[in-house]
Structure 1
Amino acid sequence: MLDVEEQWIALTRKVVGFYFVSHEYELLTPFISKQISWIGTLEDEICHNKDDILYFFNKEYGLYKDQYKLSNEQYHAVKINNQTGIVWATLNINAPDLPNVLVRLSVVWGKEDGEWKIFHVHNSIPDHIQGEYYFNIENAKVAYQVMDERVKLAATTDSVTHIKNRNGFCNAVSKLMHEHRKQNYALIKFKVQNFRYINQRYGYSNGDRLLENIAKNVKRSCNQEETCGRIEKDTFAILYQFEDRESLNQRLYQLNDDLIDKRMKRKMFSEVHLLIGVYLIPQNSKESIPAMLDKALIALNQINETQREKNILYYQEEMMKQQYHNNFILEQALIAFEKDEFKLFIQPQFDIESGKTVAGEALTRWITKSGEMIMPNEFIPLFEQHGFICEFDFHMLEKLCQTLRHWMDAGMDIQPISINQSRLHISEPDYLERFCHIVDMYSIPHCYITFELTESAFVEENERMLTLASQLHQMGFQLAIDDFGTGYASLSLLSVVSADILKIDKSLLDGSEVNQRSYVILEKVIEMAHDMGMIVVTEGIETRKQLDFLRELHCDIGQGYLVSRPIAADEFKRHWLSPVLS
């Protein structure tokens, strides 16, 4: 795939061919931005918008009939930012009226509606061959000023939402805070909750329209002494003035309510919510704007871990300490791999009717050389966030296969073991091939490995999951939906994904034996799963009362502290496995 500079050069070559060689102006038109400026060699060849250009092309169409020949073409591209670049070109034109004339050309490319468009063109010929009707220098100066302003604007404007990009936002914040030093300012960073699902469900073009709609309303919420910008993907930032935290909260609540136009809400068929991190900037702060953005992001990233009303969380210094701790965990993880500190644990799964152990779930515990146990909720989210999880999953899969092979060689009657896999694997083209290679390397029958993915993975990667489910079944693996009941598309999920096992999250079980509504929900979920031919596993069973309740609802398999906590693999073998009967 061409890098962006090569793309601009290739596009410029194409444009040069349409304009100078074949004079195919109708093919050139789709490359033209609505905001184009154009400086040519003729006195009246200066245009300030697309309509001017089309009028000019129409005049030229009757003037040039013969195709020109080009030689000595040279192109050079310079990237201003991810949205803007300039291509300089020199070439010689051979035509009856212009024999071997050197032409210099500069083309400014920018993103418009997701495509590369020409925002400015300047072409010139040597001074000594220009007659009196060539090049109006005064008009050119004006056009250059317009072009310069547009290039600067393009360098600080987001091409999708047309509000400021990260650079533009940082520049604007710095300027406002310098001009209004006595004002209280809050820097807010927010993103759209479950935006990946929205893109998958409604398409990327509708996702972009949603971002445009959000940007329009965010910009509308700012006064002249405030600003906003799109920082990346679905993440935005705002600089708001505030009197006190209560009034700021009310404003943020209102922003969440007014973020999407009613027409867009009707089109989405679902609510759109924000996750909001807030950093209250101390007066006369000497911090850089990127450092302030980082603090707002730290608060934003901790919202899922800390339940707060309306999904708003304010930055506190303790969060920075947590960030340092997270960085330390990531650094130590690499060392832990080398020292083999990630241990295989298994939690038994038992038949609800008989109480007999029939399967298990493979889990991980990080046990340091000093004997400290680090739980998965401390490191798994970090591994996912930093892209380390995929290699980690394969590492633990191999540990499981090694263990199963050892048990089989020792003559043990092994049971199916489920293993958790991150949804990040789904986009890897060779994932399933690599997964099978590890299992087959230890000659483990596929029926003894159950493949678990969380409910959110099925929701966000619907099409890919349908394909993956089919491939897994063809290869003899079983597929389980984990943490069912924690998402927001649970029931519709059952109708589209051909999973074999439904693992009901503990949250659906808690209180259902005393709450009639919870009872009915759990009962119907189990009934529907059975009607679809699925095995139902309920997690988090801690009391005899819960076990009796699930037996009454005809749940198939249970898992929880009532029978056993997750235990080391060797301990699982001693307690729950028996030799094959000869």
Structure 2
Amino acid sequence: MKTMQDSRDEIEGLAKRLIKAYFVERDYTSLLSLISERISWVGAGRVEIGYDRRSLIELFARERQTYQGGWVISDEQYHIEQLGPDIAGGIITLTVQSDLTGGVAFRKPVRFSGVFRRERDGWKVVQFHHSMPFEEQAGETGFNVEKARRDYMEIERSLRQMLEQQGRKLQEQDGLTGLLNRPGFESRCREALAKPSEKRFAVLTFGVNHFRYINQLHGFDVGDNVLRSVAQNIQDKCVEGELCARLEKDHFAMLLTYSATKDLEQRIEEIRDCLLDEAMQQELRIHVTFAAGVYPIPAKSRRGVRQMLDKALIALQSAPREEGASRYAYYNDALETQLFRRNDLMERASDALKNGEFKLYIQPQVDLKTGQVTAGEALVRWVTAEEEIIGPDEFIPLFEENRFIRDLDFYLLEQLCKEMHGWAKQGLPPVEICSNQSRRHLCEAHYVEKFCAVLDKWQVPHGRIVVELTESAFVENDTEMYALSRRLHERGVRLAIDDFGTGYASLNVLSMLSADVLKLDRSLLQDFETNARSRVVLKKVVEMAHETQMQTVCEGIETKAQLDYVKSIGCDIGQGFFFSKPIPVKAFEKLLLKQRQ
């Protein structure tokens, strides 16, 4: 582990390389590799100022034209102080003398002050200032030693104070975007909120949707440019009294001012619309959106800024999940209660899995021609040790977010195959069981092999299991889904598109993907009796499925009228409360036994 002394040695080495490249070698290419993208450079001359790498390149080019020769340096002294883990300052003194090859005689003492910051690829120079002492020494004809000593002490004190101020500023600044970082945002917010103001304040936090996908598709350099573009655009939207920061990764925060709620909503819409420059949007070829949380700060609030950020984050986590759109939510106390509940469920999940609290249920599926139960859909209920039944609508979305769903899927698959092995030993008629699988498995390299290994362990024929994935998974991950479909079919496993008709409909998916089963969502049946268009759509979807060699399953059948209609349009399988609600796996086994008699 590196010590503070190790860091000081690294920084001193960096400073020595910089001095050598600048004066002795005059190697400006090497010099540029030692400085940060966000450099500020002040020379001894009136016009020797560079605010970034581009202006610095122009400055170095002018220096090269002015003097072609090199320099000899002597009397080097380096004084480095580390002001924090990632920030340091330094004072350098030396004597510079021309080597006479350039036709110029020059010998002067030169002084430098520098600020250094640790970046992704090591320490870099972020600020450099050099000067030469004033030649007149209080009217003396010779060198005024006493005044020089006093001046040196004053200069050193001023430089130290300047370095400390610059160090504090840089410690509050995000190195990539130049915005405030989290500590800087919290500090500046406290100052802003402490001042009397007629305006109201709100904390806004937001993240860039699918930022990981942008990095994967275009690379981290493009991802960094996206963050810089977002940072510049939201900075431009800030008005007097407002602040913006990059907290971490693609997570930003703003302190906004407003007079009325409609004003605040208008500001948020403006920020949403300006996230990315048009040129960057075209380069990415996707529409960049955000998910945001808003915490309007109550008047005379005594909460700390960190608490305010936490509450805005809670609101962000509750924002509606609308694909392809920006969305935001306001904080309220009920959201915090929900968060505690979610955290509690996640903390209990692993032990619940070990203790067998996740129970396998099956909802029967009926052949509409024979009226026999020929299949089923495997479902799950969480029955706690205290006999509390937690519905899947509460914990499945949570597990999807935290990837625990992958462990749960394989646990339930193991239980299902164990039961199916038992049915076969009893001589029960073979049935097909649909097993819901999360899209989270798409990133697993050996998912299909692991899946089939469980079936083989319990001697379950691969064709008896139907892997169910929602329609949205097919639309959003079409390339991965086509590959998964091919691999499943190679191993004899069937594939079902679940929830078809829930708003993601893509006829292209049906034409490109070789699914075996199309499960029609219950929403298609809701108004079929009064809506002629619904009847036409449902009928045509069934016809289209049959013509593409897919079996159809109609979910949500609850009435005799619904049953009669889906039978009349040729649907193959029915599922819903009209036949049976989801039942424990042992009850499903009894149903199969009774049906055999």
TM-score with structure 1 length normalisation?
0.73
Aligned to 1:350: 366
Would the aligned equivalents of 1:108 and 1:121 in 2 still touch at CA under 8 Å?
Answer: no
Amino acid of the structure 2 residue aligned with 1:220: D
Would the aligned equivalents of 2:83 and 2:164 in 1 still touch at CA under 8 Å?
Answer: no
- Tell me the CA shift for residue 117 of structure 1: 9.3
More divergent stretch after superposition (287-296 vs 544-553): 544-553
Aligned to 1:303: 319
Would the aligned equivalents of 2:28 and 2:60 in 1 still touch at CA under 8 Å?
Answer: no
More divergent stretch after superposition (468-477 vs 206-215): 206-215
Amino acid of the structure 1 residue aligned with 2:316: L
Aligned to 2:526: 510
Q: Which residues of 2 match residues 517-532 of structure 1 at below 5 A?
A: 517-532=533-548
Would the aligned equivalents of 1:120 and 1:147 in 2 still touch at CA under 8 Å?
Answer: no
Would the aligned equivalents of 2:215 and 2:223 in 1 still touch at CA under 8 Å?
Answer: yes
Amino acid of the structure 2 residue aligned with 1:508: L
Looking at structure 2, the residues matched to 276 and 358 of structure 1 have their Cα atoms a distance apart, in angstroms, of: 47
Aligned to 2:401: 385
More divergent stretch after superposition (263-272 vs 292-301): 263-272
Would the aligned equivalents of 1:449 and 1:478 in 2 still touch at CA under 8 Å?
Answer: yes
- Secondary structure of the 1:413 match is coil
Q: Which residues of 2 match residues 297-446 of structure 1 at below 5 A?
A: 297-304=313-320, 311-446=327-462
Q: How much identity, in percent, do the aligned residues show?
A: 39
- Secondary structure of the 2:294 match is strand
Q: Describe the shift of the 1:428–1:370 C-alpha distance in structure 2 as closer, same or farther (beyond 3 A).
A: same
Q: Describe the shift of the 1:267–1:362 C-alpha distance in structure 2 as closer, same or farther (beyond 3 A).
A: same
Aligned to 2:119: 110
- Tell me the CA shift for residue 316 of structure 1: 1.7
Aligned with residue 170 of structure 1, among 172, 186, 197: 186
Q: Describe the shift of the 1:34–1:314 C-alpha distance in structure 2 as closer, same or farther (beyond 3 A).
A: closer
Amino acid of the structure 1 residue aligned with 2:307: A
Looking at structure 2, the residues matched to 543 and 106 of structure 1 have their Cα atoms a distance apart, in angstroms, of: 76
Aligned with residue 36 of structure 1, among 36, 39, 56: 39
Aligned to 2:93: none
Would the aligned equivalents of 2:365 and 2:375 in 1 still touch at CA under 8 Å?
Answer: yes
- Tell me the CA shift for residue 471 of structure 1: 1.7
Looking at structure 2, the residues matched to 531 and 176 of structure 1 have their Cα atoms a distance apart, in angstroms, of: 66
Looking at structure 1, the residues matched to 523 and 212 of structure 2 have their Cα atoms a distance apart, in angstroms, of: 24
- Secondary structure of the 2:399 match is helix
Q: Describe the shift of the 1:457–1:63 C-alpha distance in structure 2 as closer, same or farther (beyond 3 A).
A: farther
- Secondary structure of the 1:343 match is strand
- Secondary structure of the 1:429 match is coil
Structure 1 residue 565 and structure 2 residue 581: aligned?
yes
- Secondary structure of the 1:285 match is coil
Q: Describe the shift of the 1:474–1:150 C-alpha distance in structure 2 as closer, same or farther (beyond 3 A).
A: farther
Alignment gaps of 5+ in structure 1: 65-76, 89-96, 98-104, 125-136
Would the aligned equivalents of 1:413 and 1:579 in 2 still touch at CA under 8 Å?
Answer: no
Would the aligned equivalents of 1:390 and 1:422 in 2 still touch at CA under 8 Å?
Answer: yes
- Tell me the CA shift for residue 87 of structure 1: 13
- Secondary structure of the 2:515 match is coil
- Secondary structure of the 2:581 match is coil
Amino acid of the structure 1 residue aligned with 2:39: I
Alignment gaps of 5+ in structure 2: 1-5, 71-81, 91-98, 100-113, 131-151
Q: Which residues of 2 match residues 116-515 of structure 1 at below 5 A?
A: 118-120=124-126, 155-158=171-174, 162-180=178-196, 183-191=199-207, 214-257=230-273, 259=275, 274-304=290-320, 311-488=327-504, 490-515=506-531
Aligned to 2:140: none
TM-score with structure 2 length normalisation?
0.71
Amino acid of the structure 2 residue aligned with 1:490: S
Q: Describe the shift of the 1:109–1:467 C-alpha distance in structure 2 as closer, same or farther (beyond 3 A).
A: farther
Looking at structure 1, the residues matched to 519 and 31 of structure 2 have their Cα atoms a distance apart, in angstroms, of: 57
Aligned to 1:92: none
Residues 390-446 of structure 1, C-alpha deviation per residue, up to 9 Å, x if partnerless?
A: 222221111112111122222222312121222222223333333233222222221
Q: Describe the shift of the 1:155–1:548 C-alpha distance in structure 2 as closer, same or farther (beyond 3 A).
A: farther
Q: Describe the shift of the 1:38–1:559 C-alpha distance in structure 2 as closer, same or farther (beyond 3 A).
A: same
Residues 246-296 of structure 1, C-alpha deviation per residue, up to 9 Å, x if partnerless?
A: 433344345445556667778888766554422221233232222212212
Aligned to 1:127: none
- Tell me the CA shift for residue 153 of structure 1: 6.0
Looking at structure 2, the residues matched to 457 and 244 of structure 1 have their Cα atoms a distance apart, in angstroms, of: 40
Aligned to 2:111: none
Aligned to 2:564: 548
Would the aligned equivalents of 1:366 and 1:375 in 2 still touch at CA under 8 Å?
Answer: yes
Aligned to 1:94: none
Q: Describe the shift of the 1:172–1:354 C-alpha distance in structure 2 as closer, same or farther (beyond 3 A).
A: farther
Residues 31-50 of structure 1, C-alpha deviation per residue, up to 9 Å, x if partnerless?
A: 7544335799xxx9997643
Q: Describe the shift of the 1:430–1:63 C-alpha distance in structure 2 as closer, same or farther (beyond 3 A).
A: farther
Looking at structure 1, the residues matched to 473 and 56 of structure 2 have their Cα atoms a distance apart, in angstroms, of: 51
Aligned to 2:106: none
Amino acid of the structure 2 residue aligned with 1:392: L
Looking at structure 1, the residues matched to 410 and 128 of structure 2 have their Cα atoms a distance apart, in angstroms, of: 55
Amino acid of the structure 1 residue aligned with 2:303: E
Residues 305-329 of structure 1, C-alpha deviation per residue, up to 9 Å, x if partnerless?
A: 89xx995432222222222222222
Would the aligned equivalents of 1:414 and 1:577 in 2 still touch at CA under 8 Å?
Answer: no
More divergent stretch after superposition (473-482 vs 228-237): 228-237
More divergent stretch after superposition (247-256 vs 369-378): 247-256
- Tell me the CA shift for residue 383 of structure 1: 2.0
Name the structure, 1 or 2, with higher relative contact order (CA <8 Å, separation 6+): 1
- Secondary structure of the 1:379 match is helix
- Secondary structure of the 2:365 match is strand
- Aligned alpha-carbon RMSD (Å): 5.0
Q: Describe the shift of the 1:87–1:560 C-alpha distance in structure 2 as closer, same or farther (beyond 3 A).
A: farther
May I ask how many residue pairs the two structures share in their alignment?
A: 531
Q: Describe the shift of the 1:325–1:331 C-alpha distance in structure 2 as closer, same or farther (beyond 3 A).
A: same
